[in-house]
Amino acid sequence: MKGVSNFILIILFLLLDPYEVFGEVKLPALISNGMVLQRDIPLTIWGWADPDEEVQIIFRDKSYATKADTHGKWSTELDASEAGGPYDMQINTITIHDILIGDVWLCGGQSNMELPLSRVTDLYATEIDRINISDIRIFRVPISYHFQEPQTRLPGGYWMKAVPAHIRSFSAVAYFFAAELQQRYHVPVGLVNIAVGGSPAEAWLSEENLKHYPEYAEMLKICSNPSYVDSVESSDRNRRNVWFKKLNANDPGVALWSEYGVDVSGWPSISLPGYWNDKGLDLINGSVWFQKNFDVPDKLSGREATLRLGRIIDSDSAFLNGVFVGSVGYQYPPRIYKVPSGVLKSGRNELMVRVVCPSGKGGFVVDKPYKILIDSLAVDLTGMWKYHPGAAMPPLNPQTFFRYKPAGLYNAMLFPVRDFEFKGVIWYQGESNTAKPDEYRQLFPDVIKDWRSTLNSSNLPFLYVQLANYGETSCCPTGSKWAELRDAQRRVLDLPKTGMAVTIDIGEWNDIHPLNKKEVGHRLALQANKVAYGDTGIISSGPLYEHMSVENNSIVLTFKSTGTGFNTNCRLQGFEIAGSDGQFVVAEADFVSQNSIKVWSNKIQHPQAVRYGWADNPASVNLYNLEGLPASPFTTAD
């Protein structure tokens, strides 16, 4: 019996968590193979172990000793190191390989920062295919949220190199930013990406700072109840499941019209792209089937191809000659579907697309590519299509995204990286706060101050992107929440160590995710050169409004950041002026000096205020400096 007992004890011993058996050190996900550490400053290395366990770190021929506290947390400070690598680090029995020392940037915001290089291949396909820079690395923090308290550990993640196997998943803005800095300063660049698509600024604010916003503080209190969150999420899932189940049950085309050879002779026609409600289709929400025939030459039949279906609102499933070739579940990603060899036929081919729109206006977004690419042949798919309603449904109320609720992302994604050292922050966010631009005047500065406090660096460089032009163009004076939020972003430059990349000239009217991310990265890098690296001689910005004076019936504006001067090779547009009634009219404007502009209108005798680029998508802003950088939209009014 004694032998049996010993055998059982051995088995139980082997089944135990080895960390519990041996008291092994545990490390945060950030401290792992391939990591990039910040150069030229002391570094904190931390982790967990059994209470009072001794921890020894060996790095670059130096040894550091510490001990876990009574809660099992340990940390120690390593000496500052110059840029270089790769190195190994030994922490008790753990070896971390391939460590670089350079500059590490924290990347925050929403979808325009999150958006990967795979989404911008229309502009940069050749360049992306050539990227192979192991000195640029990214750590993608897994998306998570938590409301009860700040978390100390990330749920996972790993470092990736900017090499062909991983490059398409890199944040496009962050990569182009890093590539420019790496080329200029010849040091490794690390990127820690915590951006979350659709996230408002309040989701990135700590509970302590939410006290200034009673509405958000109350929402955090509500969300801190796990049973409430579970109940709402369960209700959302059930409601959506019921909606889609009923939709599919009532749609006569399901499992039938996706087949090859469907008789569409009795189907009406519709011109695409466009919204179907604007083209006479009464169905508002639900599903609609669209069919298009196109011809393929004999010599190209059976070839691999790429089907481009622009952007579709809201979700779609595409079938080519009865073969499923792709699907996207929401409106923003471009539809780029690979057609495998053997699908295309000689002569007539049939494309069927089922579109589901749960709410709002459904359709095919205009001014996007709709074509099929077969070798060098591009077959245009715009024009007349056949269509048939699937099933009409009542609008589906949007689901509750708890990851957008106050403090949730701060607690789960920012706080756990607080001990890592960063060169600075790059931030692209604001679209989700355009409904309350006045609030953003306080909210955004509070986010910056909060992050600096959390990351233990009161002057941490914080560089951000001003919202790009978006929506229908406007040439007449009008109110604009987007313009108000841009002005709120501009005013944040009053905080020290901040820099703003103006993008009012590189947006897309029909896409909240403009493709030109390389220029965004470039303009952020210009700000980094000045704000983070101290290059005071560089021109990092276009003209920025500074102050105004009233002279007779005109207003003279003075600007800073004019570089070597305004680009005067144009007739200035985009200015508006108002009198005491606050009603703006289109204004004339002319250059007065290297840093001043006079604005006036014969309709305004006693001018009080000027604004520039004041629209969601201003049609004719053209104020630049000679370095080619655009002026920020602004208003002189408070």
86 prior amide bond cis, ω within 30: yes
Query: Is residue 537 predicted with pLDDT exceeding 80?
Result: yes
- The separation between CA 300 and the C-alpha centre of its own chain, rounded to angstroms, equals 39
| Separation CA 76–CA 471 (nearest Å) | 51
Query: What is the pLDDT at residue 18?
Result: 35
Strands (E), 60-166: 62-67, 73-78, 84-91, 94-109, 133-140, 159-162
Query: Is residue 15 predicted with pLDDT exceeding 50?
Result: no
Query: Is residue 8 predicted with pLDDT exceeding 70?
Result: no
Please, which residues have CB within 8 angstroms of residue 126's CB and are 6 or more apart in sequence? none
Count H helices and E strands in the chain, helices first: 12, 34
Residue spans of alpha helices (H) in 82-158: 111-114, 121-130
Strand partners, 549: 556
Q: Domains plus CATH for the chain?
A: 249-392 (2.60.120.260), 544-635 (no CATH)
Tell me if 106 sits within 8 A of 532, measured CB to CB: no
Please, which residues have CB within 8 angstroms of residue 184's CB and are 6 or more apart in sequence? 525, 529
| Separation CA 199–CA 8 (nearest Å) | 52
pLDDT bracket for residue 579 (50, 70, 90): very high
- Which is nearest to 491 in space by CA: 618, 635, 311? 635
Strands 634-635 and 133-140: unpaired
Query: What is the pLDDT at residue 14?
Result: 39
3-state secondary structure 354-395: EEEECCCCCEECCCCCEEEEECCEEEECCEEEEEEEEEECCC
Report the percent of the chain where pLDDT is more than 70: 96
| Separation CA 204–CA 211 (nearest Å) | 14
Query: What is the pLDDT at residue 106?
Result: 98
CB atoms within 10 A of CB 63: 9
- Which is nearest to 220 in space by CA: 38, 406, 386, 70? 406
Q: How far is residue 528 from each of residues 181, 468, 484, 537, 560, measured CA to CA in Å?
A: 8, 19, 25, 13, 18
Q: How far is residue 368 from each of residues 172, 293, 332, 356, measured CA to CA in Å?
A: 20, 19, 12, 19
pLDDT bracket for residue 1 (50, 70, 90): very low
pLDDT bracket for residue 475 (50, 70, 90): confident
Strand partners, 96: 89
- How far separated are the first and last CA of the chain, in Å rounded? 87
Worst-scoring range by mean pLDDT, 3-7, 562-566, 574-578?
A: 3-7
Residues in the chain: 638
Query: What is the pLDDT at residue 284?
Result: 87
- Helix, strand or coil, per DSSP, at residue 614: coil
CB-based burial, 211-250: b 16+ in 10 Å, e otherwise: eebeebbebbeebbeeeebeeeeeebeeeeeebeeebeee
- Which is nearest to 335 in space by CA: 359, 315, 352? 315
Please, which residues have CB within 8 angstroms of residue 242's CB and are 6 or more apart in sequence? none
Amino acid at 418: R
- Computed over every residue of the chain, the mean pLDDT equals 95
| Separation CA 623–CA 447 (nearest Å) | 30
- Helix, strand or coil, per DSSP, at residue 172: helix
Rg (CA), the chain: 28
543 prior amide bond cis, ω within 30: no
pLDDT digits (tens, 9 = 90+) for 396-444: 999 999 999 999 999 999 999 999 999 999 999 999 999 999 999 999 9
| Separation CA 113–CA 501 (nearest Å) | 13
Query: What is the pLDDT at residue 306?
Result: 97
pLDDT digits (tens, 9 = 90+) for 302-351: 999 999 999 999 999 999 999 999 999 999 999 999 999 999 999 999 99
pLDDT digits (tens, 9 = 90+) for 279-306: 989 888 999 999 999 999 999 999 999 9
Q: How far is residue 361 from each of residues 48, 383, 387, measured CA to CA in Å?
A: 52, 20, 16
pLDDT bracket for residue 555 (50, 70, 90): very high
Q: How far is residue 236 from each of residues 224, 242, 243, 397, measured CA to CA in Å?
A: 18, 10, 11, 9
Query: What is the pLDDT at residue 9?
Result: 38
Taken in order 600, 605, 609, 612, is the CA torsion positive or negative? negative
pLDDT digits (tens, 9 = 90+) for 486-535: 999 999 999 999 999 999 999 999 999 999 999 999 999 999 999 999 99
581 prior amide bond cis, ω within 30: no
- Packing angle of the helix pair 481-491, 437-454 (nearest 10 deg): 40
Query: What is the pLDDT at residue 23?
Result: 54
Q: How far is it between the farthest Cα atoms of the chain? A: 107
pLDDT bracket for residue 635 (50, 70, 90): very high
